[in-house]
Amino acid sequence: MALGATLYHFQIDLSDVDRGVYQALDMRVARHPSETLRFMLARVIAYGLCFEEGIAFSKGGLSNTEEPALSIHDPAGGLRAWIEVGSPSADRLHKASKAAPRLVVFTHHDPALLKKVARERPIHRVAEIEAYGLPGTLLDALEAMTERHTKWVVVHTDGELYVTVGDQTATGAVTRFSLADGE
């Protein structure tokens, strides 16, 4: 018998000062049996940092390789943004960049790994891809503080991310980097 997904409930008070987004989020996130807690937390952070009307986790979950981790659709259903988490392949980045006018990637690994992947083959509009590194220390701290029912207070200001759970706060810089620079 296959293992089912584990459901997490997040109540998030989001203050993304850098974008002027202030929102109370109440979401249920399914953690796929093969998904690490760290990856799921990176998905939740990506959701908050890209939050706007029309954002959603993929319907097929991680098992559907044809869908992004998150997407943003306009009211008519048109795809406005494809949001990846982790270290997607060059082929996946190429496909996503052609499928959506905006492609955003949040990596919870060393950004050098994603830069290396981006050099493997030409990627459509590679210079326009928004790539962000999430600090491992932040995710490590959140792993220890996150339970199946969790309340977060999230503040994003001047590139720094602060996540408070109860009386504990985890912090780290969310760094933007280019996949086109070839470094």
Q: Where are the domains of the chain?
A: 6-177
Tokens encoding 43: 């998905």
| C-beta separation of 68 from 79 below 8 A | no
| C-beta separation of 87 from 112 below 8 A | no
**Region for 86 from its dihedrals, namely left if φ exceeds 0, alpha if ψ lies in -120 to 50, beta otherwise:** left
Write a three-state SS string for the chain. CCCCCEEEEEEEEEEECCCCEEEEEEEEEEECCCCCHHHHHHHHHHHHHCCCCCEEECCCHHHCCCCCCEEEECCCCCEEEEEEECCCCHHHHHHHHHHCCEEEEEECCCHHHHHHHHCCCCCCCHHHCEEEECCHHHHHHHHHHCCCEEEEEEEEECCEEEEEECCEEEEEECEEECCCCCC
Nearest-Å Rg of the Cα atoms of the chain is 16
| C-beta separation of 146 from 165 below 8 A | yes
What local confidence, expressed as pLDDT, does residue 65 receive? 73
What local confidence, expressed as pLDDT, does residue 62 receive? 64
CATH number for the domain running over 6-177 = 3.10.640.10
Asked whether the whole model's pTM tops 0.85, one would answer yes
Residues 6+ apart with CB under 8 A from 33: 2, 3, 4, 5, 6
Q: Please report, as a single letter, which amino acid is at residue 145.
A: M
How many separate helices (H) and strands (E) can be counted in the chain?
4, 11
What local confidence, expressed as pLDDT, does residue 127 receive? 95
Tokens encoding 172: 């780290």
- The per-residue pLDDT string of the chain (183 residues; one tens digit each, 9 = 90 and over) reads 557 889 999 999 999 999 999 999 999 999 988 899 999 999 999 999 999 999 999 876 666 678 899 999 999 999 999 999 999 999 999 999 999 999 999 999 999 999 998 998 999 999 999 999 999 999 999 999 999 999 999 999 999 999 999 999 999 999 999 998 755
